């Protein structure tokens, strides 16, 4: 875990892949990013989460007032998020939008899975842009405008390009090639614009 930026109101850190953001159920799921952040910032409060397999920028508040402010920014989609992913296959278009509603797959509990459901799903929208094409994979910038669970992973699978290393929606590998590279938001007290960047490790 690396601290990217902090003050008395918030702390932004780089979450490693294969680490839970918050504790899970069971004794084996207690080591998590939140507990490690609390060792440095005992007043840390959760604002948002990343999937266990996803690495990158995670923001914590350091007071109830800051938590309410930052959580509202996420809820009202006032934050800007950019992810980097490597997906299977060569994406032919240079950019696009995936606008498929999502819901939890109630037939599969472990591991949790989500799917596209145009009737009962909740709105989910992802914009994407090609960064680089390889022989069998494509590097993309992903811009989620909503924050549904597994949104980027399901959306990429839904257009025929699952993220490399995805054990649920693609093919398992050493790691999921998905990284939260940039987060922009307004300071919870001063309102000043803040942009935190953390380059992908792949």
Residues noted as catalytic: 51
- The three-state (H, E, C) secondary structure of 113-142, written as one string: CEEECCCCCECCCEEEEEEEECCCEEEEEE
Residue 140 to residues 62, 112, 163, 200: CA-CA distances in angstroms?
A: 33, 25, 10, 12
User: 184 and 193 in contact (C-beta within 8 Å)?
Assistant: yes
| 5-33 per-residue burial string, b: 16 or more CB within 10 A, e: under 16 | bbeebbbbbbbebebbbeeeeeeeeeebb
Rounded Cα gap, residues 84 and 129, in angstroms: 10
């Amino acid at each position: 875990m690396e601290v990217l930026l902090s003050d008395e109101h918030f702390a932004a850190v780089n979450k490693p892949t294969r680490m839970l953001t918050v504790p899970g159920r069971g004794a084996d799921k207690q080591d998590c990013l939140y507990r490690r952040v609390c060792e440095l910032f005992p007043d840390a409060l959760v604002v948002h989460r990343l999937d266990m397999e996803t690495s990158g920028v995670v923001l914590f508040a350091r007071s109830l007032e800051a938590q309410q402010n930052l959580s509202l920014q996420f809820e009202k989609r006032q934050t800007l998020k950019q992810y980097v992913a490597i997906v299977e296959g060569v994406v032919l278009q240079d950019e696009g939008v995936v606008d498929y509603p999502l819901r939890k797959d109630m037939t599969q509990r472990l591991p949790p899975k989500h799917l596209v459901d145009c009737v009962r799903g909740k709105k989910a929208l992802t914009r994407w842009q090609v960064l680089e094409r390889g022989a069998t994979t494509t590097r993309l910038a992903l811009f989620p405008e909503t924050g549904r669970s597994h949104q980027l992973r399901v959306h990429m699978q839904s257009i025929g390009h699952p993220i490399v290393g995805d054990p649920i929606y693609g093919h398992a590998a050493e790691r999921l090639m998905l990284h939260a590279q940039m987060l922009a938001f307004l300071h919870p007290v001063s309102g000043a614009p803040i942009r935190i960047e953390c380059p992908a490790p792949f």
